[in-house]
Amino acid sequence: MVEAFEQLPTIGKKSAMRMAFYIVRQDKSFGLKLCNTIEEATLTVKNCKKCGFISEHELCEICQDEHKDKAKLCIVQDVKDIFIIEQTRCFDGYYFVLDNINHEKIDELTQLIEERKTKEILFAVSPSIASDSFILFIEDKLKDFDIKFHKIAQGVPTGVSLENVDILSVAKAINGKMMV
């Protein structure tokens, strides 16, 4: 159990041992319930067909939400970033997870843009030279569409991933978005 827990992000040997000891000392139902929860999630959670977010259904809750602004699309590089941005409540559009760039992903993205008639894309990527070239590359792929491109502004330090930035800073970065 310790070895298994150690494979989790941010969990070192000490924490892994603490968790394992805690579980074996509890009532048996505690460990079994935990097992079941993990098993159930592992078997049912998949990626949303439209945006790549995680979901128990074909389409995630966000893509199923009719009240969002269809003209706005936020591109993130990691599923986790959607959770973070949703917590800020500063963005009212839809999302697309572009974790690696390939033909298939670009096709999915252009299909989504056509379908939703996207007018504005917000790149929620932490500032770095690599993310600037990522943005330029995507902009070039979408140059035939009439879309305004923005990226999140200052508040997110260079080279730091969104999950390590506090919510307030992410909110400021979204509100202070700038043209790219």
> Measured from the CB of residue 34, what is the shortest distance to Zn ion in angstroms?
28
Nearer to Zn ion, 6 or 86 (CB): 86
Find how far residue 53's CA is from the centre of its chain. Answer: 7
What whole-number distance in Å separates Cα of residue 115 and Cα of residue 118? 8
Segment (H or E) for 151: strand 148-151
Interaction of residue 116 with Zn ion, rule CB under 5 A:
no
Quote the crossing angle between the two packed helices 79-88 and 167-175, to the nearest 10°.
Answer: 80
Neighbours of 174 (CB within 10 A): 21
> Measured from the CB of residue 67, what is the shortest distance to Zn ion in angstroms?
14
Find the part of the chain contacting Zn ion (CB under 5 A) among 51-59, 84-92, 111-119, 149-157.
51-59
Interaction of residue 121 with Zn ion, rule CB under 5 A:
no
Give the bridge partners for 120, in sequence order: 72, 148
Under rule CB under 5 A, which residues in 56-75 are in contact with Zn ion?
Answer: 60, 63
> Measured from the CB of residue 99, what is the shortest distance to Zn ion in angstroms?
14
Q: How many binding residues for Zn ion (CB under 5 A)?
A: 6
What whole-number distance in Å separates Cα of residue 115 and Cα of residue 109? 10
Interaction of residue 53 with Zn ion, rule CB under 5 A:
yes
| AA letter at 131 | S
Interaction of residue 98 with Zn ion, rule CB under 5 A:
no
19, 48, 84, 125: residue in contact with Zn ion (rule CB under 5 A): 48
What whole-number distance in Å separates Cα of residue 2 and Cα of residue 19? 8
> Measured from the CB of residue 50, what is the shortest distance to Zn ion in angstroms?
5
51, 97, 156, 171: residue in contact with Zn ion (rule CB under 5 A): 51
Q: How far is CA 92 from CA 88, 97, 105, in A?
A: 10, 16, 23
What whole-number distance in Å separates Cα of residue 112 and Cα of residue 124? 18
Interaction of residue 109 with Zn ion, rule CB under 5 A:
no
Nearer to Zn ion, 79 or 153 (CB): 79
Residues that bind Zn ion (CB under 5 A): 48, 50-51, 53, 60, 63
